[in-house]
Structure 1
Amino acid sequence: MVNTVKRPSEGLALQVTEPARKAGLVEENSEGETTRRADVRVYSFEGLLMVVDRERMDEAHIVELLKAAAGDTKTARQAIDATIQTAGHGYQVPLPPARDAGFRKGDPAPCHPAPNMLVISKNSMWNEEHGEDKPGRVAASLLTIRRDQVE
């Protein structure tokens, strides 16, 4: 199931519990207690948000991803620093630049993990039969680039 953009006390945010775990943006001990919540930078492009771990991603890798995202979307909006937050029984990421990227409260926001990164896009394909969400073309390209970077 795809989560939707929500409005907590300030700004916009997205529940990202499972993707954040898969991306390594949060870590938990064997008792399920949070041991790390990443400091991230949220980059915005038209219909796309890229969330990167500021401590664990190489600057050159980030630049490569930014160039690809800007080239594919023909846009580049603002970038803002944030921290993965505890929300309920999981985690959320604040999305200060979401409005610049065209996201509004209640919009479906498919979130796809890669090592130390999340890609949130407005254009994805939800497969009801298999219960999976496939990223849109630009998001898929960024995920492939990131996976290639860490191999």
Structure 2
Amino acid sequence: MTNRIKQSGDGLALQVTKPARTAGLVEEDENGNPNERADIRVFAFDGLLLLTDTDRVDDDDVAELAATAVRDTSSLHRVMDASIQIAGNGYQVQLPPAEDAGFRVGDQPACTAAPNMLVLADGESERLATDFEAIRREQLATSSS
């Protein structure tokens, strides 16, 4: 089950330990200690947050993902850089533009992980989140062939 959005520091955040590991946004040593945490960019659309690794998702792929979200949501709010932080026994991500996308403290968005990317979606945007996962996997398959 997905965690709830919480107030953290000056903004909103979400505990994303398992999805961040699945997406490759954190790298850990054999003892589970973090070696590297990705710098991410958060895109806010109505009911949807797209989080991409700034170093591992190339600009053309980001543009394709963002354009798809704009077409499907008819929106684009803010785009901001954020980070994966150590929190509790895992990781959390700061979500500076979450309120622009309609998320509030206590919301429990669906969290979809794909390589170097997370998608947080409200109930109405869950289908789009799975589409993003497929698009990202197709991008990687195309770039490796």
Q: Distance in 1 between matches of 2:58 and 2:23?
A: 15
How many residues align? The count is 141
SS at match of 2:64: helix
Match of 2:137 in 1: 147
TM-superposed CA distance for 1:73, in Å, is 0.4
The residue number in structure 2 matching 1:138 is 128
CA–CA separation in structure 1 for the residues paired with 2:89 and 2:2: 17
What is the CA–CA distance in structure 1 between the aligned matches of 2:59 and 2:123, rounded to whole Å? 27
Distance, in Å, in 1 between the alignment partners of 2:8 and 2:64 is: 32
1:24 equivalent to 2:14? Answer: no
**Aligned 8 A contact 2:110 2:126 in 1:** no
Structure 1 unaligned spans of 5+: 125-134
For residue 37 of structure 1, what is the aligned residue in structure 2?
A: 37
Identity of matched residues, %? 50
Residue matched to 1:103: 103
Letter in 2 for 1:52: T
TM-score normalised by length of structure 2: 0.94
**What is the root-mean-square deviation of aligned Cα atoms in Å?**
1.0
The whole-number CA distance in structure 1 between the counterparts of 2:123 and 2:60 is 27
Aligned equivalents of 2:99 and 2:72: distance in 1? 19
Is 2:45–2:69's contact at 8 Å kept on the other side of the alignment? yes
Distance 1:33 1:108 in 2: 27
Q: Name whichever structure is richer in helix by fraction.
A: 2
**Structure 2 regions of 5+ residues with no counterpart?**
none
